[in-house]
Each structure stands twice: as C-alpha cells, then as structure tokens.
A = this chain, B = another copy of it.
C-alpha cells in the first residue's frame, strides 16, 4: 500500500501517519510526480492533478483532497476510472467563520479608520462606529461553514436568512429561502455573505438585478468562489453605489491581477484567498484522513466526506 502526498506535512504530522500506519509506504513529495504510477491513494490540495496524471496513476483508487474545492480536479478522467474522491469539507468552518466575523466587526467598529489615524498619529474620535446587533445577514450556501457563520452572527443578535438551492432547512438560520426566491430577500439584508462552491448552478448566479435589489448600505462578502459574480457586474454595483462595500476573499482571476481596480477601491477589501488559513489546518485534515484510512484499509469502505464529482461538492 503506497500513499502519495503531493504536499509536505510537518515532521510531527508525518510521524503521526507513519506510526499509525506502519504497513503503509508514505511518500511526501511536493511537485514531484515520479511516484504517481505506484500510488494507491493520493492526498492533494486538489490543484495539482491533470488528466494525464490520472492516466499515469494507474493504481490509484482514492483521491483525498485536503481542501474543500475540487473544481480544479480533472473530473472526467477521475469519473471514467471510478476513482473515489473525498475532501475535508467542514474543517474550514472555524477559521472561515472567524474571518467572516472579523471583517464584519472590523468595519462596524471602524478598525480601518482607527488604524489609519494611528499611522497619522492623530487622536480622532469621529469614527462613526455602528453595531452588528439588530442587523440582518443573508447567507448564500449555509453548509458547514455558512451555518457556523450563522451561529456566530446569531450570538451577536444578527437575524440570519439562509439561501440554498432547495430552500431546505439549515442550522442556525432564522429563515430559509431557495435560490429562486433570493431577489425577494435581498432588500432586507445588511450583509450578503457567500460561501457557495463553484458549480454549474452557482456560476454567475449573482447578476446586475441582484445588486440593484440590495440595500445601498449593504456589504457583500464573497468567501466562496470568484465566479459567483463577474467583475463587471460587481465593479458596476460598487461604482454606482448600489452596495456600500465588498469584502472579497475570492476572485474571478487569482492571484488578482496587478492593476485591477479592486486593489485601490476604498469600498473594497482585497483578501488574498486566505480566510480558511489556520495553523491547525493540516492537523485537522489528518483528523479527517486517519479514521477514513483505517476504515479503507479494513475493508475498502467508502470514506466520509465523499465528493459527488457530478454535483461538484
């Protein structure tokens, strides 16, 4: 049994794997594809495998993606071979929910202004701070991460409206609506927060009409995928002040190109796709992977966090 990691865990994390699974031959190799042909299992961040790699990896039966996004995997090549794919959906929920709350609270409590005044060594008490308490959030994609954001928002006295494909109930949402009913709910929301994955249904889901339906004072936050809205639509909405502010952790093109207008817009925060970052990330991924691997070795049981490659999540 050979398991190829296409990234390199810390020394103690490697030792954890080796001591848990003495019968397994682990290879930890960044950007080195020499051992693809002999790998039974591949552990990857999901961005480094091509269709040709899948063809080369003749023995692979399971690809474990140590992230949530699987849109860069060669879907067809994997589906044709019937390779099992699992991810670590859910392990991002703590850092991402903390990032979402950090951005919202920072803007409500005037931290950018406070920091700027400090740089200018200026004691200026006109900060125009306001409160999260009593506001309303519309959460697009209330899955593991979205529900955790909802839980924290509710603790701050924020009303939460969840929005998913079917409108089916999700945790920590005061109300749920389906994608089809989104236009009716947008005028109520002070924040529109997306954690949606990139799928055929979510690609360019938000159009001009959606931004026109939002409050002029609303904040739009995208922590999901950059193709939820085109740059053109979002730039127009921000320039025409159809919404007041955007916090963007994901972009149509990443890295965000030099010279892109977002970089210098006063009503945009550019966060370089880091909202899930955490020192605890790989440790938590291993917490998902290790029990899955135990079951797999015991009887090729399908792992938890299985990904449906057709649906795309």
The answer on a CB contact under 8 Å between B278 and A130 is: yes
Q: How far is the CA of A170 from the CA of B151 in the complex (A)?
A: 24
Residues of B within 8 A of A99 (CB): 109, 129
Residues of B within 8 A of A156 (CB): 98, 152
Residues of B within 8 A of A155 (CB): 151-152, 155
Looking at the complex, which one of B114, B269, B278 makes contact with A129 (CB distance below 8 Å)? B278
The answer on a CB contact under 8 Å between B108 and A106 is: no
Looking at the complex, which one of B128, B131, B275 makes contact with A94 (CB distance below 8 Å)? B131
Give chain A interface residues in 243-288, CB to chain B under 8 Å: 254-256, 258, 263-264, 269-275, 277-280
Convert A182-196 into 0s and 1s, putting 1 for each residue whose CB lies closer than 8 angstroms to a CB of B.
000000000000000
Residue A76 is within 8 A (CB to CB) of chain B in the complex? no
The answer on a CB contact under 8 Å between A125 and B94 is: no
Residue A102 is within 8 A (CB to CB) of chain B in the complex? yes
Copies held by the complex:
2
Convert A122-143 into 0s and 1s, putting 1 for each residue whose CB lies closer than 8 angstroms to a CB of B.
0111011111110000000000
A100 to chain B, nearest CB (A): 9
Q: How far is the CA of A105 from the CA of B132 in the complex (A)?
A: 14
Q: How far is the CA of A161 from the CA of B147 in the complex (A)?
A: 28
Residues of B within 8 A of A256 (CB): 123
A48 to chain B, nearest CB (A): 16
The answer on a CB contact under 8 Å between A112 and B115 is: yes
Residues of B within 8 A of A110 (CB): 274, 277
Chain A positions near chain B (C-beta within 8 angstroms): 94-95, 98-99, 101-103, 105-106, 108-112, 114-115, 117-118, 121, 123-125, 127-133, 151-152, 155-157, 254-256, 258, 263-264, 269-275, 277-280
9 A–B contact pairs at CB < 8 A? A99-B109, A102-B108, A102-B111, A105-B105, A114-B271, A117-B270, A125-B273, A129-B274, A129-B277
